[in-house]
Each structure stands twice: as structure tokens, then as C-alpha cells.
A = this chain, B = another copy of it.
Amino acid sequence: MKITVLGCGRWGSFHAWYADHIGHDVTLWGRPGSQHLQELLETRKNEYLSLPASISLTSDLKAALDAADICIISISAQQLRSFARQLKAAGFAPSLPFVLAMKGLEEGSGKRLTTVMAEELEPAVRTAVWVGPGHVQDFISGMPNCMVIASADEGLTHFLVDTFTSPLIRFYYGQDLLGIEIGAAAKNVMGIAAGMLDGAHLTSLKGALMARGAHELSVLVAAMGGQAMTVYGLSHLGDYEATLFSLHSNNRRFGQDFIEGRPFKKLAEGVSTTEALLDLSQKYGVELPITAAVHAIIKEKKDPHEVLKNLFLRSTKCE
């Protein structure tokens, strides 16, 4: 199968490596002027992996789209809307499936990424998401994991699972696209909260964070029309190992650095997701106390120790 991967950062380059690793014919695109692409063109390596010669590298979007049977997109979630406009301008076959290998919600609208795609391309655009646990570093070292692919079109889900399954990644068929997208995005917020607990020497409260975090999101997902239990599957709870505990987790690291007053290069993806979730909280009338606490610490500059202790330790209640 001919696979094009759009975006050549950590996850984009991994998706290209993986598709090649399981025998597909791969093109990896980076935007003209991308430092990541430049590095790969010069050395065929980045911090995480080496790309075999069989993978084509290009900055020509039209050519990358024309070459594809399936197109994987892995860019920053907040850039998806403008990127979708670029895709429309470049043109592609109406049947081309897009797989969003990214996690987030649009800041300002709270919209899911598949919604952004449908709005900017056309309602019938064939879009799926590929989410769940796993670190690039672990996969490259041969450590397997389970992930999930979901779309509104069951036939497309099965086609993609058949195309990408291997002993390194075993897929589950996602059956609740809404719940999977919200859960996958929101786990980054819980990752920031976990890092904040680490930074505040309250690591032991990560257990309560897992139970209460998944709970608040399950209520939101149900209010939005999804299945509450989806949050307890691979896309959210199943990603907690990678997000709340691993040293590789960017969002966890960001939360800890923030509390410890260490400088950080850029806001983690979870920060935008926090804003988007609070919009949804208001729209659907669902309280999200952990998400609101993360927001209060980062955006309202509230005292982290006080906010975190209040969150878990103030009142006695029923579960």
C-alpha cells in the first residue's frame, strides 16, 4: 500500500518508519523550510530514529497527496484547520482516507479534529483517528503496544486496522469516535495534572487523579452523546501509563516544570486542550474540576499547592 505521512516531527517520522517497517511504500512530507525535514534530508535521522532509504522525503504537498492510498496526518492540533485549507488547495482524490495521528481539540471552539476536517474539506471526507498508548522510543526499541483506530465509517476502520496491524502494534476497533477523540485529547490535560502532582511532591495522589480524571471526562462524553465507558478504554485510561507516569511524556514534563518554575520551550498541547474542554464544560453543563484546576494554575496563576490539595483533599464525599 502507498502511505503518505504529512508532518515529520516525532510522531510523523515514527509513522513513516512504522509504515515502512511493516512493508508499505512510504512518502514522508514536511513543509518547505521545516527544520525537521532539513535534518532528515541531510542525515536521515532525528533524535528518535533513523529512516531507511526506502522512505521518500518531500516538501511537495501535491505530489505527496497524489502518491497516497492512505494519508496519515501528524501535526500540531491547533494547526489542523489552516492545514486542511492547504490540503483543499492542493487537491486530492475524494476517496483518499485521512488518518489523524494526533490528539487535541480546537481552542476557541472546542471542536473535535474530525469535525475540523469535515468543515474545511467536505462533510463526506473519509477521516479516521489513530490514538492510544505508546512512546516512539519504546516502539523503536521493539516494545509492543495496543492502540485504537476509529472512524464514523466502520468499513474504513476495518480497512485501516487490517493495513496497519503488526506484532508491534495491535489495534482495537474503536466504536465511539466522539468518546475516543475527546478522551485522547483530554489525557494530555491529565498528563499535565500528573506532572503538577509530581512537582508538588504529591505523586501519591496520581491514583485519585486517575479515578477522578477519567470520571469527570466520562460524564462530559456522555453529555455530548458519546459512551461514558469509552473513556475507560485505550484512548484515555489506557494511555495513562504513557502520559501520567512516563518520563517520556511531554505533558507530564510540562506540568512538573511549570510547578518547579523551570523554563519550558513551549506550552504543551494539553494547555490548548484545557481551554477547549472548559468551553465544552460550559456548553454541556458538566463540571470538570481537574481540568479547571489545571487552568487555574496555568492561566489564572493560582497557587498550585493550594489548588491541588483543595481538589483532592478538601471535602468528604461519595465516590
Contact = CB atoms under 8 A, between A and B. Distances in A.
A313 B238 contact: no
A134 B319 contact: no
A204 B241 contact: yes
Interface in A287-315: 309, 312-315
A148 interface: yes
A217 B9 CA distance: 39
A319 B232 CA distance: 10
A111 to B, nearest CB: 24
Contacts of A165: 316
Contact of A319 (B148, B309, B316, B318): B148
A146 B313 contact: yes
Interface in A124-171: 132-135, 138, 143-146, 148, 161, 165, 167, 170-171
Contact of A234 (B170, B208, B240): B208
A97 interface: no
Which residue, of A133, A135, A232, has the highest number of chain B Cβ atoms within 10 A? A232
A318 B175 contact: yes
A41 interface: no
A319 B233 contact: yes
Nearest to A165: B316
B319 A206 contact: no
Contacts of A148: 319
A189 interface: no
A171 B316 contact: yes
Contacts of A314: 170
Nearest to A142: B201
A161 to B, nearest CB: 6
B316 A161 contact: yes
B317 A172 contact: yes
Nearest to A148: B319
A152 to B, nearest CB: 15
Nearest to A141: B201
A135 B318 CA distance: 22
Nearest to A132: B207
Q: Which 5 A/B pairs are nearest by Cβ-Cβ distance?
A: A207-B241, A133-B207, A211-B238, A206-B241, A233-B319
18 contacts: A132-B207, A135-B204, A143-B202, A144-B309, A146-B313, A170-B312, A170-B314, A172-B319, A207-B237, A207-B238, A207-B239, A208-B238, A209-B241, A210-B210, A211-B232, A214-B232, A215-B232, A233-B319
Given A145-B205, A172-B316, A207-B239, 6 more contacts: A143-B204, A144-B309, A148-B319, A174-B319, A206-B245, A210-B241
Interface of A: 132-135, 138, 143-146, 148, 161, 165, 167, 170-175, 201-212, 214-215, 230, 232-234, 237-242, 245, 309, 312-319
